[in-house]
Amino acid sequence: DLVRAWQKLNTQHGVALNICVAAALRRGIIDETEAGRLALPSANLQPGFTLSGLGALAEASLTCDRVVQF
């Protein structure tokens, strides 16, 4: 299970699991904040993952030694 493998990487090594908010919304993936904003009954973003925008990507690019993006 790919999601569980990413969650394990996050738990064991502290790897941030940032998901592009625009791409997630296009695919119907939302967190609790977006669910509330859109008046939807629940969220479906898996634990350990975080919706983030371009600002987070820019900041990560400046402060870390590598960024994995796909």
58 with 32: CB under 8 angstroms? no
**Catalytic residue annotation:** 20
**What is the torsional sign of CA 48, 49, 54, 60?**
positive
Q: What is the DSSP letter of 41?
A: S
